Structure 1
Amino acid sequence: MSARKSEVHDPRPPSAVSAGVGVAGLFGLVSWILIARQYGMDGPYSALVACAACGVPMVIWSLLYDKVHLRASTGIDWKNPKPLKQTFDISVAKLAGLWGTWAIIALVYCVGRWYWTGQYQFSMDMMEAAAPFLLGLSIPYVMWMDRRFVEPRDGAWHFGQFLMGAGSKERGGEYDREQIYHHLRAWAVKGFFLAFMISIVPGGFGDIVRLDLAQVMGNPVAIAHWLIIAMFVVDVQFATVGYLLTMKPLDAHIRTANPYLAGWVAALICYPPFILMDGPLNYHVNTADWAFWLEGHDILLAIWGGILVILTAIYAWATVAFGLRFSNLTHRGILTNGPYRFTKHPAYVAKNLYWWLATMPFLVTSSSFTDMVRNTVIIAAVSGVYYWRAKTEEKHLLNDPAYKEYAEWMDRNAPIPRAINWLKVKIGWWPPAEKPDQEIQPAE
């Protein structure tokens, strides 16, 4: 049975993000890249403009076509604004909490020396320039929005109450510790990953803008190399927009940030300054890439390069499908369309397959059996880290019935989960308590 036919009898749960959002952003991004190439605008500020060119069409599509601002999940009642005098004190407390949070993030940036060297310096420069405007604009924005929120007392308000010395609910006061923890986790995600994303925005974008197509054509290795860079540019641009636009009026806010320590550890060891892939999990000792090992075999080079491009395209597609909502360690709405129709973790699957095929860790230039075994085991450990990340993310998202419904639909209909479940049944890995009543067959 095809996936399309199965959906007729077993409808796929609705997706929080429509396919049109990503298409709109991709159109805007490609348009700006073509303009930048035409006029030689390859600098870091042009790369940031590319974020705007990607994000603005997605915002327009989301508001005008999907009408996300009218969804109940935003918590906004646009038709019945409250009087300002009713929400003024709430807004003051919320601003105190918001500014206090930003102060903590700024302190972490100041203490972390890595934020002031290398590519991170650009992020710090941009945030220093933006800080006065954010502080100023936050006042009218918070006061205007609080009048329209059904319940304006969010995590920022609770943190503001704490900073202003109000008592906790446990002591007869007003602020809720769990709300504060949620608020701080959400901003920790945004503060950590936004700095990283902005730091890597200029690199790939500049490479694509400066690319001389005449030097690439006719060389399958060069074509694959530059297409792969292009896919990563798409991924970085969309992800950066996602971290920037965590806003309730766009229904792109963080519902919850992962509350489990294991989830944070699994994610953070994949990014600087905590990244283990440059240290204990470095699998590149005496390795060469795929083009080195396949040199002289033009047809095989073209096929192998094509596979790598497809894998990075799937990886980028998985990010594009988020539209305005990409973010690690958070729940910002459940996606069920795009590549998420086939597996719950398309980016992780594609990324790890790419690393195995691009690096070929079982081949080494040193002819050392020890290096071969070490590299192969270590890259397997890296794949294990991403499996761990996937499981910790699912543990978090399963707290939402919408994700549970999606996961169950995937087990029944999606080709990769069905194949995995069928294999578990065949080899006896499926616990008896969880084994389905009817034997699972692999997807056709």
Structure 2
Amino acid sequence: MNAGNRRYRHAACTGLALTLPLAALAACGGGGSGTDTAAEAGSGTGTISVWAHQGQQSEDSALQSAVKSFNSSQSKVKVELKLIPADDYTKTITATDATKLPDVMEFDGPTMANFVYNKKLAPIDGYVSAKTLDNATGAIKAQGEIGGKHYGLGMYDSGLGIYGNRKLLDAAGVKYPKGLSDDWTAAQFTSALKALKAKDSDGKTLDLQEGNGFATEWGTYGFAPIVWSAGGSLLKDGKAEGALDTPAVDSALKTFQSWKPYVDPNTDGNAFAKGRVALSWVGHWMYPAYSQALGDDLVVLPLPDFGNGPKTGQGSWAWGIGANTKNAKAAGTFLDTLLNDTNVTAMTTANGAVPATKTALAKSDLYKQGGPLQLFADQIAKPCGDSDITKSCVAVTRPVTAGYPTVTAKFSEALNSVYGGADPKSALDKAARAIDRDYSDNAGYKIP
């Protein structure tokens, strides 16, 4: 799976990249009993250990440069960085006793609540400066917040959209959105597929990144926006029943199911870049390849609106403080530097992701107003968090809960079965029951 796809890929304590994403996490830890974990402040000086995932080479170089620059800029704190292969990263944190974890660690966003639940992360409030917190985008703060406390902040975020081939759209007479305020309805999107099919030799006009599999984190990250846009939710007040299995979500997934005849399986990964399809439902990470392939014919469009406004997933890798650190002040000092605009810009230049600080985002050539990926910035500027999913907000955080491994496994299984022809209502009912049963068995995964 390419580096961009790692924005939604996770590993677990089995040591395998999950096809049922994060599922093993739920069974790997102890439990969330007792009081909140608070790191020791320490002296604010000395050597601190930092763990991070080994990504694409350009990402690794940007991080190594940030650490080298920090170490050479002052003499009070020295950072020792350890890179762990991405496929092994989450399972390594999961399998490591909390007392053996580093002072600072990176984690993939949806894993955070499980690590908090199992007392592996401490709140960063009071150690990271108010300036750093204030400059973080609302969406990235939502990913890292539980009960009013912040446990993580990211250097970058993510987003979904539909890339379009202007030449093919125009040839089929398809009118397409110019931005969020001009979004197309689900019915208009379906009509566009039909119009494109009429001009297409094999009738395949849409790429859904099917090769990544739908019973994976891609299934949840890529297509939970359909649920949210239909007015539903993966989880509401700790329950899936009445949130995930509503008539509106059932109807929306029937529409999703109806698109299958138009979908190119994209086994070679080049359906859109080679012009076989006119539309590709994917994230920001495909922009470099698509821009190079299509040039001025590339357009960037929001996902369709199923009634509650267009929605997108968001969230990515973030940074936090180990619950058992003896030097949280020094950890906070390093995070303040790591999350400044110089380092955020270097990292997002390396990986093409959405900058997660307000000031770096505003200055980004790709994401600034008038930039080719302005849509993604516009979406991030309207965060929903993970619970208050109104019509006016756009970027939704996947449920911040220690039970997320079960939520994503059961939803993505349901989505995959619907795509394969199963009755949406039956699949959603089954998923909701399984999620609620797991939550009941685990006392709601309450984090004190």
Q: Which has the higher helix share?
A: 1
Which has the higher relative contact order, 1 or 2, with Cα contacts under 8 A spaced 6 or more apart?
A: 2
Could you tell me the TM-score, scaled by structure 1's length? 0.20
Could you tell me the TM-score, scaled by structure 2's length? 0.20
Which one has the largest radius of gyration? 1
